Amino acid sequence: EQIEKGGYEHFMLKEIFEQPKSVHDTMRGRLLVDEGVIKMAGIWDHVERFKNANRIIIIACGTSWHAGLIGEYLIEEYARIPVEVEYASEFRYRNPIITDKDVVIAISQSGETADTMAALKLAKEKGAFIYGICNVVDSSIARITDAGSYTHAGPEIGVASTKAFTAQLTILTLIAFKLGKHNGNLGNAEFMSLIAELDALPKKIEEVLNTTHELTQNIAKDFVKATNFLYLGRGYNYPAALEGALKLKEISYIHAEGYPAAEMKHGPIALIDENMPIVIIAPKKGHYDKIVSNVQEIKARKGKIIAVVNKGDRQVSEMADYVIEIPETSECFSPIVASVPLQLLAYYIAVYRGANVDQPRNLAKSVTVE
């Protein structure tokens, strides 16, 4: 096992550090920047099905569901096809309206999650076209779908999903851009500039790992005794906030809640005092001014602010107690880059609390029973 961990203390840390490679592997053979092409047979062979879909319904559980939420933002923004995202466990039991004009995308690292599988079977019975985004090759979900794309992230051992999540986001980005280009919603110049940026993402992830590894350890030391955490973000980074909170609660057992930053005033603001740590994801692109006013509201209530901002940021950084800098990207890529320091922060808080990071209590890597 020590050999498999490749010198890292835990699989989770190893997997966090593998992300430049796993994101790259997921794009390999698909993203051909010089030719200006995204090659995805699973999508291309059924492209009219997607183009003419009434809507796309994304079903998943846990971290994969968070990837699905970001998928909704991506596909609606770039391909202009309506998307809904549902928990597989809710979808399967609520008598949903599904027709043969719908496309259902299941996202699952393991490809074995019982609720996701059952939801897919239901969609298939109703005639929907079903598409899988799985990490495990030849898994049950991969086998029952009509088509799909594998996230080539490599085996993920840590129960808390990290590299599978960023690989899922990479696939969803490729799908959104490919469909957008085909639909004519994404013009050539924008497409070319987005794919060049996507191609450079592994380098940015590498940079973030290098610049935030020690920093997140230091921040983590100050929060070992915390009992609650709030994670806030807007737009693409709202689901990234949900995922940041999930990572922390899964492995450190600290209660954490993710929220869209603007919803704070409808509840969570009541919780804010000098004992409440608040992680706020505030990159330059994407509602930055709005986030600044959210941060002011937190500051006025003396919350402890851990801000994830772009390099050179002033306004949010000046108000924050802790600043984590990430490189600037187009908004759609920011959840990938912002997730990395949040994974590290959760990891180190859990390690300093003496928790079993790779095998958290009560959780399973793959939930094959209901």
The contact set with ligand G6P (CB under 6 A) reads: 61-64, 108-110, 113, 116, 159-161, 363, 365-367
**Non-local CB neighbours of 99 within 8 Å, separated by 6+ positions:** 54, 126, 127, 128
Q: How far is the CB of 246 from ligand G6P (least distance, A)?
A: 8
Structural contact between residues 333 and 235, judged by C-beta atoms closer than 8 angstroms: no
Structural contact between residues 283 and 311, judged by C-beta atoms closer than 8 angstroms: no
Indicate if 365 belongs to the active site: yes
Structure token digits, residue 204:
């940015």
**Non-local CB neighbours of 253 within 8 Å, separated by 6+ positions:** 353, 355, 360, 361
Q: How far is the CB of 328 from ligand G6P (least distance, A)?
A: 29
Of 64 and 145, nearer to ligand G6P (C-beta) is: 64
Place of tokens 């070992």: 224
Of 178 and 249, nearer to ligand G6P (C-beta) is: 249
For the CA atoms of 298, 304, 306, 307, the dihedral, rounded to the nearest 10 degrees, stands at: 30
Of 62 and 180, nearer to ligand G6P (C-beta) is: 62
Structural contact between residues 38 and 86, judged by C-beta atoms closer than 8 angstroms: no
Q: How far is the CB of 132 from ligand G6P (least distance, A)?
A: 11
Of 113 and 343, nearer to ligand G6P (C-beta) is: 113
∠ at Cα 225 (224, 227), nearest 5°? Answer: 115
Of 38 and 336, nearer to ligand G6P (C-beta) is: 336
List the catalytic residue out of 21, 124, 284, 365. Answer: 365
Q: Residue 225 burial by CB count (10 A; 0-12/13-18/19+): exposed, middle or buried? A: exposed
* Backbone phi, psi, residue 130, to 5°: -115, 135
The bridge status of strand 55-60 relative to strand 102-108 is parallel
Q: Which residue is nearest to ligand G6P (CB)?
A: 62
- Please report, for residues 87, 110, 151, 262, 368, the alpha-carbon distance to residue 58 in angstroms, rounded to integers and kept in the order given: 9, 16, 16, 25, 19
Q: How far is the CB of 263 from ligand G6P (least distance, A)?
A: 23
Cβ neighbours around 331 below 10 Å, total: 18
Q: How far is the CB of 95 from ligand G6P (least distance, A)?
A: 23
Of 44 and 93, nearer to ligand G6P (C-beta) is: 93
Of 274 and 370, nearer to ligand G6P (C-beta) is: 370
Structural contact between residues 58 and 68, judged by C-beta atoms closer than 8 angstroms: yes
Q: How far is the CB of 293 from ligand G6P (least distance, A)?
A: 33
Please tell me the distance from the alpha carbon of residue 35 to that of residue 78, in angstroms, as a whole number.
20
Q: How far is the CB of 295 from ligand G6P (least distance, A)?
A: 30
Please tell me the distance from the alpha carbon of residue 183 to that of residue 50, in angstroms, as a whole number.
10
In what helix (H) or strand (E) does residue 58 lie, and over which residues does it extend? strand 55-60
Catalytic residues: 365
